[in-house]
Homo-oligomer: A and B are copies of this chain.
Amino acid sequence: MTNKTVRPILEMNAFDKQSPQTENVARRIANTGASSVLFYREPIEMVSAEGVWMTAKDGTRYLDFYNNVPCIGHSHPAVTAAVNKQIATLNTNTRYIVPIVDDYLEALKATFPKELSNVVLTCSGSEANDLAMRLACKHTNGTGFIVTESAYHGNTSLVTQVSPSALKNTSLPEHVIAIPPPAKKYYGDNIEQGFADQVQLAIEELKQRGIKVAALLFDSIFSSDGVFSEPEGFLSKAIEVIHQAGGLYIADEVQPGFARTGTSFWGFQNHNASPDIVTLGKPMGNGFPMAGVVTKPEYLDSFCADVGYFNTFGGNPVAAAAGLAVLKEIKDKNLQENARLMGDYLKAQLQSIAEQSDHIAEVRGSGLFLGIDICHPDSADKPDPEFTVNMIDQFREEHILIGAAGPDGSTLKLRPALCLTKTEADCFIDAFAKILKAS
């Protein structure tokens, strides 16, 4: 429960602005200043993308194992067609009735437990988590939040407060407690109990600070912490603990949601957990900006009695069309099952290669959301962020895009589109073996 320093997530594999800049990189930095965030020691100029592949200006085709937003594949024709049809017809706000919006809301709700029967559509996962936190505060009359040490939940003022991995020189505010992620190294073999105990301690610590807890806010696969999904169901006890304390459980599904984990459509379902509020984002529109909060009606009732909430772009019919196309494609092409099969295959192959290498401490994850811990050759307990960055660069040489996560940036994070084929998975597996062999 210490406020440990974690490596800011934006520093991972980031272009160093002190390095020599090509004309286009200089242009970007002149336009966006300190807020510019480019990947790689030498940033890549992209010109097109399709399926799991992105094409750079120099003609190189990169296998995209990083970007989880285009979940059904880059530039997907079903989304293009849906957006094109709707944007040419009607794009307005939710103050009018447009049935495609309700078609989408109903299709989305059908994937959730019945009690989560209200949806608020927003533009970004950040807006969704901002609203979810306020619903929890209003309902519980509390202000305290419990998150994990390297959590990232978004970019608004409120949400940044619960995102330790977005903070550089500032520490967490008093009402936020970060606990160690659900990893064996912190909790041994009983992650479920250990994690629940930490939640209990955090609730008591908040109480000592004179703060009532409002909610647990967890990314259901703990992505920025380094990807933790096992053992199945380990969240259950922590959720019991927060409920006993009168707090809510907010499931942040911005990263694991929409079938990525293969075993279930939503990450929280892998924990047999019943969230009080769920937040969605990134893959929802395959790149069309959209996100949302799925909640029990009573939380909205009390919140909206105090605050008028309206989102101008949230729930526009073009977003609804994009969202419907994504849901349909996942269903029609059985992408959840593909994520499970390809994920299992990838994980097994990578684990088998990892056994031959003293650079790999662990390969874990669910479906097409995997994490690979990179360690010093002399000990599996010594993370090696430098070697990780080098591997990311070597993957680039092999024409594969990949990123890092975890408190020190030593976990490779794999999140290819859900339509990944075995041939494409083999591309990655071969590159992984080659890079490790050469090191």
Taking Cβ atoms with an 8 Å cutoff, the residues of A that contact B are: 8-11, 24-25, 27-28, 30-39, 43-49, 54, 67, 69-70, 74-75, 77, 79-80, 83-84, 87-99, 101-102, 105-106, 109, 117-120, 122-127, 130-131, 133-134, 155-158, 160, 165-170, 281-282, 287-290, 297, 300-301, 303-313, 315-316, 318-319
Contact = CB atoms under 8 A, between A and B. Distances in A.
B118 A33 contact: yes
A28 B121 CA distance: 12
Contacts of A315: 32
A95 B307 contact: no
A203 B70 CA distance: 48
A105 B168 CA distance: 27
Nearest to A62: B96
A312 B107 CA distance: 25
Contacts of A28: 94, 97, 101-102
A169 B306 contact: yes
Q: Which of A74, A133, A297, A307 has the most CB of B within 10 A?
A: A307
Contacts of A160: 307
Nearest to A88: B80
The quantity of this chain's copies bound in the complex is 2
B125 A287 contact: no
**In the complex, the 5 A-B pairs of residues with the closest C-beta atoms, listed nearest first:** A33-B118, A10-B308, A289-B313, A123-B123, A34-B304
Nearest to A66: B95
Nearest to A105: B31
A358 to B, nearest CB: 31
A400 to B, nearest CB: 15
Contacts of A74: 90-92
Q: Which of A32, A45, A118 has the most CB of B within 10 A?
A: A32
Given A79-B87, A99-B45, A157-B158, A35 B312 contact: no
Contact of A10 (B34, B75, B80, B310): B310
A89 B83 CA distance: 13
A118 B32 contact: yes
Given A49-B92, A158-B156, A8 B308 contact: yes
